Structure 1
Amino acid sequence: MATPIPTSRPSPERVFNTLNAFQQTAALKAGIELDIFTAIADGANTTALLAEKTGAAERGVRILCDYLTIHEFLAKNNGRYSLSQESAIFLNRHSPAYMGTLADFLASAEPKRNFDALTESVRKGGTSVAQGDNTKPNDELWVTFARTMAPLTTVSAGFIADLALAKEGKTCKVLDIAAGHGMFGITIAKLNPNAHITAADWAPVLAVAKENAAAAGVADRVAFRPGSAFEADLGEGYDFVLLTNIFHHFDVPTCEKLMRRVHAALKPGGKAITLEFVPNEDGVTPPTAAAFSLIMLALTDAGDAYTFPQYENMFANAGFVKTTQHSIPDSPQQVLLSEK
């Protein structure tokens, strides 16, 4: 059999682009901070108009916008810029789906500092820079998270509300563990006027959830339990317990410890609803979920992106009789529904 002839020669382009990938983060963050996307949406679509609108140098605006065009956040035709579909939806402040606030958390100094030390974290098998034990408070980090990351919850919060049968309007008690901004419980409360939510998190973080509950008009049906999810009195008799993006911070024994507390807080027949990045057992697909393990290596002592069989085993060990996996449309995350 003849040896196949390669269709193209190996190129260092992937190596070059990956080593320079931090520039894409910086450029997008600069575009958000200068409000370039909103300015273009408002009609400032040339270099001169954008410079005037943003107060930035015309040369700087030209080079930044051309770079954002190269990476398909903008389009350019005859010297005029326009927004890509994604930028119009997620980066224009006038859009109800605006997500520019995510940059204040995802592109902040702390995760960059952690990843600068990734080699040492690989050697150690856990973070070498951050406070890696997330059973302990880290108010500055999690208050920033609560104030910036809520826009990312819209789709998943609605999906979870459907699993919690919110639209049926039945009286129910919901515990939202590591509530953060509180939007998962708040979404249920908005859809079900007979739902009563208890949000559990560190006290400074719950202050953000209180603001959001008031803004949503459901403050009278949201209660708060400050403290550690591993130590505070969580209450009992809940129909649903929400566990959104919490298990990936911990090792397996710690996850099981938390889930045993959840099992005790639920009424008979109650359900735990978990939102997580859940990779396949090969550890490399789907890409976004699988890659989340690296973030946990850099930021935590022992966290990970666990597979569905791993979650099934952990939750069974905590006393749950059945766990099913549910895919969220247009999301890299999965929801796990566990029955007591």
Structure 2
Amino acid sequence: MTHNALRFPETDPTPIFEHFRGNQGSDLLTAAVAHFDLFGSLDRQPCSFDELAQRLGLAARPANVLVTALHAMKLLELREGRLELTPLAREHLVPGSDFDCGDYLGLAAQTPSVLQMVSLLKSNRPIGADASDGGGAAFIYRDGIASAMEAADTARHFTLALSGRAKNVAPALAEVADLTGAQQLLDIGGGTGIYSYALLQKHPALQAILLDRPEVLRVAEEVGQRYGVLDRCKFVGGDMFADPLPADVDAILLSNILHDWDLPECQNLIGRCAAALAPGGRLMIHDVFLNDALDGPLPIALYSASLFSLTEGRAYSGGEYRGWMEAAGLKCSETIATTGVHCGLLIATKPA
């Protein structure tokens, strides 16, 4: 029986994912109150984002995750380049104020999840990046860090786990991704390949190349047998940051890839993709997108905290992606919203 990658679920799983990530908001808020005195500091003296990061002793990435979440919670606002407390935060989170409830939030200050979040914010390293804390990082590849995607059992586990979200999202991507006239798609970091399989089913003339780690591709080929498109798929093992990318392809898909990496890696990979595209080719970034003002939406801000905890990345705004793509010589379109689990699609074209 051939599986249909274009079939939408009858119900929207978005609330499940939001509930799953809800603890990130609790941990960030408690850390801000009980460990960083963020609200007391801004009450005494509003300041820029960079100045606040310096006050808190945080690098740019963790500071961005923390501030974006608090901004999305309507506790911070940006005025003339300075971060200030909202009336809600000023009345209830400034130490010593008449209606201060910070001590109440502080009851959770020593819980394991809050202490772990504080440690991650201060170290700017994902869970597993320290060799002393166990089995290695789940989703990143870095010299000196054991990666779960390099071992058969853990690669299979994590790849199939991630497909639980992907198979709900793939139909929406295929619905809006314009691949008119494209003959060859390069899916970088394709995982199980579910996004490619949906696009192949939607476009019968399309061929796909899936590039990922060898252990991941073993799972992708197994999963692909269910969708009846393996005759139009090629599986290429490699390192997307170091190995040559297939050249002169019509379209490249980065689906939920860039959010695993920090700014230099994102800019590097987008540049490599731009070079690999044929003239007139399309780079498609399928991901979650923060507002350009980095003030929400709250579900994406909390997803960003989850990404920050597990990878070297975070959620980015459409504006950040567009800036990197334009710097690589690509012409960007507006972000296209898709149905389900907060994803969207941003397409950029290489000039002919």
Superposition TM-score tier, normalisation by shorter sequence? 0.5 to 0.7
Indicate the residue corresponding to 2:122 in structure 1.
Answer: 123
Q: Would you say the 8 A contact 1:275–1:336 is kept in 2?
A: yes
Paired position in structure 2 for 1:109: none
Partner of 1:134: 140
- Aligned: 1:194 with 2:205: yes
Kindly report which structure 2 residues correspond to 1:290-329, keeping only aligned pairs within 5 A, or say none.
290-301=301-312, 303-329=313-339
Q: Of 223, 228, 236, which aligns to 1:212?
A: 223
Shift of 1:311: 0.9
Deviation at 1:114, TM superposition (A): 8.3
- Letter aligned with residue 159 of structure 1: A
**Which residue of structure 1 lines up, in the alignment, with residue 158 of structure 2?**
145
Give, in angstroms, the shift of residue 207 of structure 1: 0.7
Distance in 2 separating the partners of 1:204 and 1:318: 31
Confirm whether residue 276 of structure 1 aligns to residue 287 of structure 2. Answer: yes
TM-superposed CA distance for 1:156, in Å, is 3.1
In structure 1, distance between residues paired with 2:342 and 2:23: 22
From 271, 277, 285, the equivalent of 1:266 is 277
Structure 1 residues 138 and 246: alpha-carbon distance in aligned structure 2, compared to 1, 3 A threshold:
same
Q: Equivalent residues in 2 for 1:54-203 (5 A)?
A: 117-127=116-126, 129-130=128-129, 131=136, 134-136=140-142, 137-139=147-149, 140=151, 141-165=154-178, 170=181, 172-203=183-214
For residues 206 and 260 of structure 1, what CA distance do their matches in structure 2 show? 24
If the length of structure 2 is used for normalisation, what is the TM-score?
0.59
Which residue does 2:347 correspond to in 1? 337
Question: Unaligned 5+ residue runs, structure 1?
Answer: 1-16, 23-112
Offset at 1:196?
0.5
Bigger RCO (CA 8 Å, 6+ sep): 2
Q: Specify the structure having the higher radius of gyration (Cα).
A: 1
Tell me how far apart the structure 1 counterparts of residues 262 and 148 of structure 2 sit (CA, whole Å). 18
| Count of residue pairs the alignment pairs up | 230
Q: Which amino acid aligns with 1:161?
A: A
Structure 1 distance, partners of 2:182, 2:344, is 26
CA shift at 1:332, angstroms? 1.0
CA contact (8 A) 2:182 2:250 kept: no
Distance 1:135 1:191, change over 3 A: same
**Residue 5 (structure 1) aligns with:** none
The answer as to whether partners of 1:161 and 1:187 remain within 8 angstroms in 2 is yes
Q: 1:165 to 1:275 in 2, by over 3 A?
A: closer
What secondary structure is seen at the aligned counterpart in 1 of 2:334? Answer: strand
Provide the secondary structure at the position in 1 that maps to 2:269.
helix
CA distance in 1, matches of 2:220, 2:299: 28
Quote the Cα distance in structure 2 between the aligned partners of 1:144 and 1:18: 23
TM-score, normalised via structure 1 length: 0.61
Secondary structure in 2 aligned to 1:149? Answer: helix
Match of 1:54 in 2: none
* CA distance in 2: counterparts of 1:171 and 1:339, whole angstroms: 12
Distance 1:123 1:287 in 2: 22
Q: 1:339 to 1:18 in 2, by over 3 A?
A: closer
Q: CA RMSD in A?
A: 2.7
Aligned match of 2:252: 241
Identity of aligned residues (%): 24
Q: Distance in 1 between matches of 2:127 and 2:223?
A: 34
Partner of 2:268: 257
Deviation of 1:333 (Å): 1.6
The alignment partner of 2:244 has SS state of: coil
Give unmatched runs, 5+ long, in structure 2.
Answer: 1-21, 28-111, 130-135
Could you tell me how far apart the structure 1 residues matched to 2:348 and 2:23 are?
39
Check conservation: 2:182, 2:251, Cα contact below 8 A: no
Distance, in Å, in 2 between the alignment partners of 1:114 and 1:219 is 43
- Name whichever of 123-132 and 267-276 sits farther off: 123-132
- 1:232-291 residue CA offsets vs partner (Å, 9 max, x unmatched): 232112111110111111111210110111111211111111111211144342121111
User: Structure 1 CA distance, aligned partners of 2:159 and 2:319?
Assistant: 30
Mapped to 1, the partners of 2:311 and 2:164 lie a distance apart of 24
Render the CA deviation track for 1:114-168: whole Å, top value 9, x for unaligned.
Answer: 87622211112332533568244532554323212324224532233244446x6
Aligned partner of residue 179 in structure 1, secondary structure: coil
Matched residue type, 2:140: N
CA contact (8 A) 1:164 1:240 kept: no
Aligned-residue offset at 1:299: 1.8
> In 2, distance between residues paired with 1:152 and 1:292?
13
- Preserved CA contact (<8 Å) 2:292 2:317: yes
